[in-house]
Amino acid sequence: MDIEKKLGEKTKEALLFLYNASIEKITFEKTNPDFEGDLTLVVFNFLKISKKKPEETAAEIGNFLLANTPEVAGFNVIKGFLNIVISDAYWLSYLKSISGQPFINAELRADAPTVMIEYSSPNTNKPLHLGHVRNNLLGYSVAEILKAAGNKVIKTNLVNDRGIHICKSMLAWQKWGNGETPESCGMKGDHLVGKYYVEFDKHYKKEIEALISQGKSKEDAEKQAPLMLVAQEMLFKWEANDEKVRSLWLMMNNWVYAGFEATYNMLGVDFDKIYFESKTYLLGKNIIDEGLAKGILKRRSDNSVYIDLTADGLDEKTLLRADGTSVYMTQDLGTAVQRAEEEHFEKMIYTVANEQDYHFKVLFLTLKKLGYDWSAGLYHLSYGMVELPEGKMKSREGTVVDADELMQEMIDTAAATSKELGKAEGLSKEDSEKLYRTIGLGALKYFMLKVDPKKKMLFNPAESIDFNGNTAPFIQFNYVRIQALLRKAAEIPGLESTAPLVFPVNLMSKEKGLIIRLYNFNSILKEAASEYSPALIANYVYDLAKEFSQYYHDVPILKEEQKDLILFRLHLSKTIGTAIKASMKLLGIEVPERM
């Protein structure tokens, strides 16, 4: 039984014994670091039943707990706050209970709830960029956290592989590509297609300028530019299953898929199921017909279909155009229903930037009004945009921060920093390169994930690779330090892993603090899963690594004279290493064994 639950039951006994009253919910807080104690009980809520002053009430409850709870070693009262000291014996018994155990239980209960999480959702007209990096890392990490918290998780990706933006790249390649392929030019397929998306925009702008110079308005010029008219004709042919257009579309999309796969592999993310917009964009039409028949949806005089959400503080949302063609909402309605029927999920999480907050409010409310009870389990994991010191990224001009180039830059920076600090000394070329990749990508991931998802973030690559401070390299270095300590100990006669382990009677304050950190792992994991926030795990593992670093500097481990204490401190260090590795895995970050 965890200590909070045990104390909660004993506090109920205390209230019944002292005041002949019962209270259902008893909660504890972590004690303020300025005071002695591990857990704090706020007693102000009990004053009505005690009919005594806060200090007297707290003291009476504290004395009862001290007398009746072996785990309580002492207490102190600050006004209405009862600060409880948990015994060293309890913390040592906890450490024994987790000895040799993984911090993440891989077994899944038969009744585990199913959670589907969608992330990435790229367009197939350009490579993945910095914004996609945060999206992918956030979605993947939340999936891993939910899985570790006991859920059956299905990771999904909805690829936006159709539409006018795709046709722009296709048309530009037709006009100016000269048959260029990824193989002929040595360029990744997604980069090649993105190159022609930028090329289209460059020529399109010139046409707009020419039309404006002839007296057209900007709006008319954008609509009447020859390139746009041809692109729209191409989209019409695609929807009509024109063989030549479909063949070109398939060829270029396959280039992009191969490019995406390489990026996903480098980034360390994956998917259990991939949906394609080309196969889902018509799914919602039957749902809309049913909504019309039920009178939930309405048809305008121009034949378009909408839902009136004005009474809910939203607006009238078009669900089908006047010509009967789908809009994004049509597709999203259909895809949601298809997923619910296929997977019977309890929760469906959409990882999408906060620019789409309104879209998801409309989607969820529409599904609710259409009578889908499972819509109560839909959730928009809305996250802030990523910006650079130079400002917000742009897409069409080709000035976007490319994900592949960013990752390579991080690896190169990690290599330069590691060489300067001598982190790769004695490693082979292959091991060195693996280390640089682990450090560089770890730095990128951690920097992205340590920020609360809801907040806009400023990404500064130079700050992320620092072996001091709240960074992945600092955490990785302390994991490596533990492994080096264990290897060194294994070479000392009498300190082999088979040597008997004797736990001390009393703990140093730093040792107690570290064990409490380990104890808190499960509650942090539960909170991170509930809040969909990898930042909680990131900051937990940083605090653990920082506290171990101080312990390592201040407390002798291998230089301790008593063999039993050496073995205990090695055991504690090893357990901390296990917790660091498990926590970083939840963030999708690897830890090296040497540096």
Residue 86: strand pairing partners: 72
Instruction: For 423-469, write each residue's pLDDT tens digit.
Output: 888 889 999 999 999 999 999 999 999 999 999 888 877 788 888 88
Q: Of 57, 86, 115, which residue is a domain's last? A: 86
Q: Is 454 within the bounds of a domain?
A: yes
Q: How far apart are CA 318 and CA 327, in angstroms?
A: 8
Q: Is the pLDDT of residue 421 over 90?
A: no
Q: Is the pLDDT of residue 395 over 60?
A: no
Q: Is 118 helix (H, G, I), strand (E, B) or coil?
A: strand
C-beta neighbour count of 200 within 10 angstroms: 24
Q: Is the pLDDT of residue 388 over 80?
A: no
Q: Residues 44, 54: contact at Cβ < 8 Å? A: yes
Q: Is 34 within the bounds of a domain?
A: yes
Q: Of 86, 101, 124, which residue is a domain's last? A: 86
Q: Which two tokens stand for residue 309?
A: 């959400």
Residues spanned by the domain of 70: 3-86
Q: Of 51, 86, 121, which residue is a domain's last? A: 86
The CATH number that applies at residue 494 is 1.10.730.10
The single residue listed with the structure tokens 């504690």 is 572
Q: Is 185 within the bounds of a domain?
A: no
Whats the size of the chain, residue-wise? Answer: 595
At 282, phi and psi to the nearest 5?
A: -100, -5
The CATH number that applies at residue 65 is 3.30.1360.70
Q: How far apart are CA 576 and CA 245, in angstroms?
A: 58
Q: Residues 296, 369: contact at Cβ < 8 Å? A: yes
Q: Residues 137, 588: contact at Cβ < 8 Å? A: yes
Q: Which two tokens stand for residue 96?
A: 């024994």
Q: Is 544 within the bounds of a domain?
A: yes
Arithmetic mean of pLDDT, 260-265: 97
Full DSSP string of 48-70: HHH-S-HHHHHHHHHHHHHHH-T
pTM greater than 0.75: yes
Number of domains in the chain: 2
Q: Is 302 within the bounds of a domain?
A: no
Strands 29-30 and 39-42, bridge-based pairing: antiparallel
Q: Residues 501, 567: contact at Cβ < 8 Å? A: yes
Q: Is 242 within the bounds of a domain?
A: no
Q: Is 438 within the bounds of a domain?
A: yes
At 123, phi and psi to the nearest 5?
A: -95, 145
Q: Is the pLDDT of residue 399 over 60?
A: no
- Those residues whose C-beta lies under 8 Å from the C-beta of residue 208, and which sit 6 or more positions away, are 218, 221, 222, 225
Would you state the pLDDT for residue 351? 97
Q: Is 136 within the bounds of a domain?
A: no
Q: Roughly how many angstroms between the first and final C-alpha of the chain, as a whole number? A: 39
